[in-house]
Structure 1
Amino acid sequence: MPPPLHVTIIGAGLAGLATARILRDGNHDITILELLPSNHEVGAALSLGPSAIYLLEPLGFDRKRCRALTAVGSRTYDKEGRQIHYQDMRPFAVANLADWLMMHRVELWEELYRLATAPGHEVGGCGRAARAFCGAEVVGVDVQSGGVRLKSGEVIASDLVVGADGIKSMI
């Protein structure tokens, strides 16, 4: 088995946390750096289709912790409020071996954070827990050395750097 990598994930949003959880299985040394000082997820409902649930559940995803609801149907209305279409969602679950779930974005974030950072015995015994640091402003990445430079002057040595810092990515 190859030695574990020193992985730095820049961004503690949904993508960065999901990446950290997946990489835990390789027993890698994972550091997550987030610019904002704390959980910043906002927004209302979010849906995860069967393909996403099929991938997340083997990683320890707990739909009850997210207070997820199974979508059984979807209705579309016109601007006058008349229903113009109904889609039965149950066949998607059967075809994909997983449900279509609805949840609040912040609760999904909390579950992914738990899967990335909780001790292994709490998430099925998988690898090392990632370390997450909020308020860590990344000012540069040396792609040759893997060094991630913070505004504080600290440089984090990395074998792999993952840019998951959103639509306005500096990475």
Structure 2
Amino acid sequence: MNLEKLFQLQENLNGHIEKEHNLEHTSLLSEKILALQVELAELANETKCFKFWSCKPSSNKEIVLEEFADCLHFILSLGLEKGFTTIRIKPKDIQYDITSQFLNLYVDINDFFICSSSDHYITLFEDFLALGKSLNFSAEDIENAYLTKNCINHKRQNEGY
């Protein structure tokens, strides 16, 4: 996955949004943290991993992958907000079931909010990509989904979303 390219694309989208909504030079850390938490909940909802009371299967791969890409937009945006764009991400082995991975990501998000260090950001990013691996997404799947959703997000902004 080409993180440099993804950060650049996200920076372009952020710039467009900030200009259109008169938010240039405004810290949006709290908003981005909450947005990531909401998107992560939407992702969990599509996987249905926690719905022990339901017999319905997970949504199809494309829908789950689109929600994953939504989360990635905010993770990249957080990195840009804090200047963490030259990070090194190391693949992690999957150690937990999917429900536990979601819960762990909420802890990671909280840790990053409390102390927005590069170490906390890297942990969040690595754990997020490990979740993607658990959901059977390849790096290519993730990057392509991000690129597709990034185009949709630009289109939405151009249409007054």
TM-score bracket relative to the smaller structure:
under 0.3
Instruction: Using structure 2 for the length normalisation, give the TM-score.
Output: 0.26
Larger radius of gyration: 1
Instruction: Say which structure is richer in strand.
Output: 1
Instruction: Say which structure is richer in helix.
Output: 2
Instruction: Using structure 1 for the length normalisation, give the TM-score.
Output: 0.25
